[in-house]
Structure 1
Amino acid sequence: MASDSAHALGIADRGTTKLLNKESHGMQRYRPPRPDPESLVGSPTMARTSDRRQQQLARQKAQAALTARQRKDRRRKQVAAGAVAVIVVLSTLGAFLGSRSSSSSKPATTTTAPTSTTLPTNGITPPAAALGATLSGATPCPAEDGSSARTTSFASAPSTCIETDHFYTATITTSKGPMTVQLNPRVSPQTVNTFVVLARYHYYDGQPVTDVRTRASFTVGMAFSGGTNQPGFAIPGEIPAKGTVFTPGALAMTRSSASGGIGGQLVVATFDQAPDNDQQVTPLGIMLSGDTTIAAINTLASQSGKPTSLVTIQSISVVRSGAIPS
């Protein structure tokens, strides 16, 4: 039934019908609510999606493992091929060098230290060394550069000519080769001082090795023409500490069995000496080099102790070296 009253839809006044929309009413268009994702858990659709994802991840993991194995196999094959190539090269080189050495090398020879039963019965009596100059009165310190005249007779013992807080290096040149010895004044200061003074006065030049004891030691001097066997003075002996072992190459001075004093005779150990085996020597120092020289002199031993051939001291030079650690 028609009416003139206003109507919400505008039909009563027979006006044009208008659609309800947000422009005319200022309201949002109605949209049905979306389902909550959590509400879908356990639903058939979600279960199928989860299964497909797990299958996809499993395939990716398997593919990655396969790729890693293939890469590892390729590296192993490359390493094996390289090793074979190296072996082939080394084998070829070894065969080449072996053929060269076999055609030019001489049979190897070995030497064995003589024993007391294989030593010659006797040796030679070395000729005496020529005498040098004589010093009367006080004995001054010789020149450190070795320029002092050769002197073999002294009226008195020298004063202290070394620094007792420093090592000294002695180079002993023999007719069988050189030896280098490190002197330690802290162990026996008077004995080291006497040796340095005599060496710088060239006291030992020309003196022969007079005694060689196999697997023990050899002795230098004192054998001078005219029967002189002392430098003209003696100093109190400095007895080594109990338990001292003289190792090969150890340099020492002998002490008189009567007075206990020290003259100038040298002894070089060529084999390990038992502790306190010989308390008639005072240590000077240890060898730094000269194994070949000592071995050569050691082969000249005889049962009598005399060397089987002549060996002489050609020169001895001494220089100060580093400070002795405190």
Structure 2
Amino acid sequence: MTREQERARERRRAQKFEAKQALREREAARNRQVAVVVAAVLVVVAAFVILTTQLGKDDKATPSAEPTGSTQTTASATTTAAPVAGCTAAPAPPTSITKVAKPDKATAAGKTFTAVVTTNCGDITIQLDGAKAPQTVASFVALAKASYFGDSPCHRITTQDPLFVLQCGDPLGGSGTGPGYTYGIENAPKDGKYPKGTVAMARTNDPNSNADQFFIVYKDSDLSSVPEGYSIFGTVTGGMDIVEKIAAAGVSGGATDGAPAAPISILKVAVTEKKA
């Protein structure tokens, strides 16, 4: 082989090596691009998962099927919608809660009271049974006398079986921390049935968390899924049509559980003892 042929062969070898090297570089570049794309996709997927999880948490934070006192519906939702016929505009809710000392249940034991709950939609009259629920009635009476319920929005309405209630009692519309005391369950029905007109205490999952929030049943409700039940302390004797009117207007935003679409607030509560 001549020197010229050897040089030609070396050039071919060099060209093949350069071609292979260029191919490797192109493959490496392509792999880097793929890695960047995959990383970007993973970032997008991760962001989507985080957002979905957060929304799931928000959903879990919404009011449950039970009339618990931990409902976090804001009071502002009850003051922006237009009132229904027979109602005036709901007042602005308080910005703070007046703390009240826990009353002795002996102040209500064996007694019957009449509570006139004046709302922006009219009066709702409730007979309070201190014989069956002395601590609950004593608390309600004490809060009423302290003007605790003044201008407080009824922050929750439920419109889906098995729960049909209007929930009230928290001056801050569901975000308050209560009057400064709590107590246990009294007079909960063993069968879990809450007939229309029943007035009972709302609470959290803690049976000893009764405080200020209460609910009015506007249609027979079955809460037998909650073994401990809720303290029944009164019965509506007048003004049930007001609660039914609010219920008929539905929930703000078209849901089945949340702030009433028709705002209703307690302006004041007057309580008198019924003499034998």
TM-score by length of 2: 0.59
The 1:171/1:161 distance shift into structure 2, 3 A limit, reads farther
Aligned in 2, Cα 1:178/1:234: closer, same or farther, shift over 3 Å?
same
Distance 1:175 1:265 in 2: 18
Letter in structure 2 aligned against 1:193: A
Contact between 1:176 and 1:297, CA under 8 Å: does it hold in 2? no
User: In 2, Cα distance between the equivalents of 1:183 and 1:223?
Assistant: 21
CA shift, 1:161, in A, is 6.2
Whether 1:130 aligns to 2:75 is no
Determine the C-alpha separation between the residues in 1 that align with 2:223 and 2:153.
28
Query: How many Å separate the matches in 2 of 1:223 and 1:205?
Result: 7
Residues 1:258 and 2:210 are matched in the alignment: no
Q: What's the offset of the Cα at 1:322?
A: 3.7
1:98-144: CA deviation from partner (whole Å, max 9, x where unpaired): xxxxxxxxxxxxxxxxxxxxxxxx99723572156xxxxxxxxxxxx
Equivalenced residues, count: 183
Residue 237 of structure 2 is aligned to residue 292 of structure 1: no
Structure 1 equivalent of residue 49 of structure 2: none
Distance 1:252 1:237 in 2: 10
Partner of 1:138: none
Contact 1:165/1:186 (CA < 8 Å) preserved in 2?
yes
Answering whether residue 211 of structure 2 is matched by residue 269 of structure 1, we say no
Q: Percent identity between the aligned chains?
A: 23
* Kept after mapping to 2: 8 A contact 1:247/1:272: yes
Q: Secondary structure of 1:263's partner?
A: coil
Say if 2:108 and 2:134, in contact at 8 Å, map to a contact too. no
Match of 2:143 among 198, 210, 218: 198
Moved over 4 A (4+): 277-280
Q: Which residue of 2 aligns with 1:60?
A: none
Shift of 1:259: 5.3
Q: How far does residue 270 in structure 1 lie from its aligned partner after superposition?
A: 0.8
Query: Do the aligned residues in 1 keep the contact of 2:182 with 2:208 (CA within 8 Å)?
Result: no
The aligned amino acid for 1:291 is: M
Change (3 A) 1:204 1:277: farther
Change (3 A) 1:277 1:188: farther
Corresponding position of 2:269? 316
Match of 1:301 among 250, 256, 268: 250
Ranked by relative contact order (alpha carbons within 8 Å, sequence separation 6 or more), the top structure is 2
> For 2:107, what is the secondary structure of its paired residue?
coil
Cα distance in 1, alignment partners of residues 135 and 126 from structure 2: 17
Contact 2:188 / 2:229 at 8 angstroms: preserved in 1? no
Q: SS at the partner of 1:262? A: coil
Matches within 5 A, 1:215-294: 216-224=164-172, 228-238=176-186, 240-243=188-191, 245-258=193-206, 260-274=208-222, 276=224, 278=226, 279-294=228-243
- Residue 223 of structure 1: how far off its partner (Å): 4.3
**Which of residues 95, 98, 121 in structure 2 aligns to 1:152?**
98
**Partner AA of 1:299 in structure 2:** A
Q: Which residue of 1 aligns with 2:43?
A: none
TM-score norm. by structure 1 comes to 0.50
Counterpart amino acid of 2:238? Answer: S
- 1:264 is matched by which residue type in structure 2? D
SS of equivalent to 1:170? strand
Q: Distance in 1 between matches of 2:186 and 2:200?
A: 11
Q: Which has the higher helix share?
A: 2
Q: Is the 8 A contact 1:181 1:286 kept in 2?
A: yes
Cα deviation code 1:216-272 (max 9, x no counterpart): 0011142429x5331111112225131253222211111221353211101110100
Deviations 1:136-169 (A, max 9, x none): xxxxxxxxxxxxxxx7213x41224634222111
Q: Distance in 2 between matches of 1:314 and 1:256?
A: 25
How far has the Cα of 1:291 moved from its partner? 2.5
**Hey, what's the Cα distance between the residues in 2 that align with 1:259 and 1:165?**
23
* Structure 1 pair 239–255 and aligned structure 2 pair: CA distance change class (3 A): farther
CA contact (8 A) 1:300 1:307 kept: yes
Structure 1 gap ranges (5+): 1-121, 133-150
Gaps (5+ residues) in structure 2? Answer: 1-72, 80-91
Counterpart amino acid of residue 276 in structure 1:
S
Check 1:163–1:234 CA distance in 2 against 1; reply closer, same or farther (3 A cut).
closer
1:182 maps onto 2:146 in alignment: no
| Per-residue deviation, 1:188 | 1.1
